[in-house]
A and B are shown apart, each in its own frame.
Chain A
Amino acid sequence: MIWLTVRQYRMQIAAMLVIAALLAIGMAFAADYVARVRAELGVDTCVPLPNSNVNCFQLDNEWRQRTGSLNYLFYSLYALPGLIASYVGGPLFAVEFERGTHRFAWTQNISRVRWAALKLGVVLLVALVAAIVLAPFGAGQKVFSGRNIVSPFETFELQGLALVSYFVFGIAAGAFFGAWSRRILGGMLLGLLVFGVVRAGVHNLRPMYQEPATAPYPYSNGPLQTSFDLPPDAWIIGDAAIDLEGRPVAKERLNSLLREYFASPRRFSPSSNDGTFLRENGVIRLLAYQPADRFWTFQAMEAAIFTGLAALFAILTLWRVRNRDA
């Protein structure tokens, strides 16, 4: 059965591995090249002209123009698991049902569950290898920011355990919808759709994996002016607010106070800012963020979600194959 799956999918298997290898090499070279061009142009050592920084701005622009398109190499990591879900996962069982070959396979001396598990297992293993090849390179995308310190969360979905789990999830979801709809097209479309929806949904959940840390809101003017004492590699996820005793304040209250302030003439007063207004109303505005040292915890949590869903779809696929009329 392993032999059959490898034989049946040798093109897809080869394509997955070759694309992964080429993309990994491409990303490694691209990250290096982008940094080198920046150094050669001297973007970071640029001294502004006495009256304007337009010369430095132009250097930066030139760097972006020369290297920006390489970003697509990295962006392809967003699309790749979805494409594999669609093109490899979707038809995996559907093609058998459409062509009737399951009736051949299921009447040899092999149980349906074993047949399906080995088929899915082989393809999952190949996708896993491809993903592991790619996983270390996505983080290189940070060079495009031009900053020295970049939060690892900015390339969260392009690297590590999370990326690997997207591949596994995609295949399992595609396989399930193909087995369920019995149609290649159904598997391909539903696989891609569900992959996209789940990815987007989890993306929105991610900031809440752990209770965010907070830092004083940095006001740039007025009496409450504070230094920006947030760690530079923190992932800022939004506002938070507490009252003067340190108890959390609802977002709605913060927002309504801010609207009130910005609608009032006080906002033109040089001696106060929104911070002072909030404090008069018993609210202290904060920034909520996830510190960079939580990165691998978040990666593990993300991977657990997608691997768990992949396992669920795999079990549903086996169950479907075991119990369905042929």
Chain B
Amino acid sequence: MDAVVETIGLTKRYRSVKALDNCDLALPLGKVTGLVGPNGAGKTTLIHLAVGLLRPTAGSIAVFGHDSTRDILKILPRVGFVAQDRPLYGDLTVAETLELGRRLNARWDAAYALARVQRFGLPLSRRIRTLSTGQRAHVATSIALGKRPELLLLDEPVANLDPVARIALLEELMSVVAEDGLTVVFSANALADVERVCEHIVVLVNGRPRLTGDTEELIDSHVVAIGPRSKGVSALDGELIEARHAERQTIRLLRGPGPSRLDDGTVVRPATLEEIVLGYMRPATEVAA
């Protein structure tokens, strides 16, 4: 697998808090990767390290093979980045924001960025601060895409958007990906968004990747087994990821083929992506549901 972002022993500490802890990770080129994990898992830290906004405490992170600390100016022209809350200059109009994109980037496709902004019906003379959250999101992604990047890095791109705007933005992004063969990495809290568009998933927990893999592979390799409540480890094939005990039954997430035949009435079915991700995000111990 060709990696677009590669980290080796990447560690980032804020005073006493470790946001990323000795993290080894490779994000695939040419795919849409979703970074998921609970708040504080290190998603934003990882993205900020990739675009040089942060420096690693230890270890290294490379984008397109260039070190983010030393060679950030070799990386930035090839990366479109939208930070959380989509910061833009509120005083500027939409047209001025596009002009700013042109002036700050050597590689800039003005016609493309303009067409994109117009497609969403954004009035060019409006100031950014008077736009709705959804409109701002479109301007911010238009600037990021106006660079004609090879990698698009988005930190919570659909946060605070209503469901319609959320789906519209994601679908629009995916159509760009399909056309241009762009690599996308985005972080998200909402699993539904990840499920809808991601081909590859990284689950970060406590500053470390708990699970990485292609979505389809993950779905194929996990099962959910629902059986009578029991504390002990059942004779199930595969690695137990999580077991939750309800009043009368136990729900287990398993990695592996799953049991072929069971006598105690346990039902086995393929796991959904949401079940897999949640299973890995929660503590590995057995939890009472």
Contact = CB atoms under 8 A, between A and B. Distances in A.
A103 B107 contact: no
Contacts of B100: 3-4
Contacts of A109: 73, 76-77, 104-107, 147
A1 B103 contact: yes
Contacts of B52: 106-107
Given A107-B51, A107-B79, A108-B104, A7 B87 contact: no
Interface in B59-88: 73, 76-77, 79, 81, 83-85, 87-88
Contacts of B77: 109
B207 interface: no
Contacts of A99: 87, 90
B85 A106 contact: no
Contacts of B107: 109
Contacts of A100: 83-85, 87
A8 interface: yes
A104 B87 contact: yes
Contacts of B147: 108-109
Given A4-B100, A8-B91, A101-B89, A107 B81 contact: yes
A7 B96 contact: yes
Contact of A325 (B53, B88, B101): B53
Chain B interface size, under 10 / 10 to 19 / 20 to 34 / 35 or more: 20 to 34
A312 to B, nearest CB: 25
Contacts of B83: 100, 103-104, 107
Interface string A275-298: 000000000000000000000000
Interface in A54-112: 99-111
A326 interface: yes
A111 B77 CA distance: 11
A103 B103 contact: no
A12 to B, nearest CB: 12
Contacts of A106: 52-53
Given A4-B100, A7-B92, A109-B107, A326 B73 contact: no
Given A3-B103, A109-B147, A104 B88 contact: yes
A27 B283 CA distance: 74
Contact of B104 (A1, A325, A326): A1
A317 B92 CA distance: 25
B53 A326 contact: yes
Interface in B120-177: 140, 143, 147
Interface of B: 48, 51-55, 73, 76-77, 79, 81, 83-85, 87-92, 96, 99-101, 103-107, 140, 143, 147
Interface of A: 1, 3-4, 7-8, 99-111, 325-326
Closest 5 CB pairs of A and B: A108-B104, A326-B53, A100-B87, A103-B83, A107-B81
